[in-house]
Amino acid sequence: MTLFTLAELEKASALVHAAVPPTPQYAWPLLARRTGAEVWVKHENHTPTGAFKVRGGLVYMDWLKSLGEPVAGVISATRGNHGQSIAFAAARSAIPAVIVVPEGNSVEKNAAMQAFGAELVVHGRDFDEAKEHAARLAKERRLHFVPSFDPRLVLGVATYALELFRAVSKLHTVYVPIGLGSGICGLITVRDLFGLDTEIVGVVSEHAAAYALSVEAGRVVATNSATTFADGIAVRQPNAEALAIIAKGAARILRLTEDEIALAMRAYFSDTHNVAEGAGAAPLAGLIREKNRMAGRRVGVILCGGNIDRPVFGTVLAGKTPKA
């Protein structure tokens, strides 16, 4: 399944770079010492929203404008990073944005979405309930509903993979988190477009393992809960289109403990002085678990975001694991 061509990706990259400069990829020596591998970090925590999803929002909003139809506004559901991307891109296009978040969502992510100009609505116990409410509001208020997984969003976020593969050759493996799937699907598609043999390893929390369960079962398997403090990967209802791409293109999916994710967050701070949110640190946690397997190899890890509330990060730096 090919979601886009290289020409379409190049066009999307130019569109994204008009608003977001390419993010760096650095090989950090202390991470190499920690893991025994040559570790290249793709710093998507360095975008204007602090996460990779802004790329998808820009491409999606450009497509929406290209339809030439009047749009009263857009609405979407999020745990934070997707919502920031939609708020950021909608503001650049002068389109009103409504973002629905679940109860207990990140205070600082909520504030960021509002600062980008979005109207914030709080509803539901988790992301999936927030998404259902957003769909209802879209009909009631005649707003355009922006899904969390869409080929145009994947095309946008895939521009980080284009940057990474062009900047760093001969990557043996790249570790990437799986939320609803846009990041890993973009990475797999670009890998295949370039004809590379790089292994793509997805990582999830053992408390939000819907995609791992679905790949094992060969069908969509939803879970009753997704109780991980790594809110960017707290998904319990996989997307069927994303699942098909992941099942075919990923080498494996690792289920990480909350302690492993917290340890990786501390490792990022001590070894690189970068703040990584739980989902952003999960790929490094996967590499640390597999360091014997990856010893001496050139490996990439996607630091997909650094948006974490200060009290939660303080708990992590104190050597503890936050509660979901």
Condensed to tens digits (0 to 9), the pLDDT of residues 152-163 reads: 999 999 999 999
For residue range 279-292, what is the model confidence (pLDDT) as tens digits? 999 999 999 999 99
Q: What does the domain layout of the chain look like in residue ranges?
A: 6-52+151-317, 54-145
For residue 67, how many other CB atoms are within 10 A of its CB?
9
Contact between 14 and 58 under an 8 Å Cβ cutoff? The reply is no
Decide: 239 and 291 in contact? Cβ < 8 Å: no
Please give the Cα distance from 284 to 302 (Å, whole number): 8
Dist CA 289 CA 266 (whole Å)? 15
Whether residue 76 is predicted with pLDDT greater than 80 in this model: the reply is yes
Please state, rounded to an integer, the average pLDDT across all residues of the chain.
97
Question: Within its chain, how far is the Cα of 197 from the centroid?
Answer: 23
pLDDT tens figures, 12-60:
999 999 999 999 999 999 999 999 999 999 999 999 999 999 999 999 9
Q: Does domain 6-52+151-317 have CATH number 3.40.50.1100?
A: yes
Cβ(59)–Cβ(153) under 8 Å? yes
Average pLDDT over residues 308-322: 97
Express each pLDDT in 192-242 by its tens digit. Answer: 999 999 999 999 999 999 999 999 999 999 998 889 999 999 999 999 999
Could you tell me which of 106, 77, 69, 74 has the C-alpha nearest to residue 92? 74
pTM: predicted TM-score of the whole model, two decimal places: 0.96
For the domain spanning 54-145, the CATH number is: 3.40.50.1100
- pLDDT computed for residue 1 by the predictor: 64
Fold equal for 6-52+151-317 and 54-145: yes
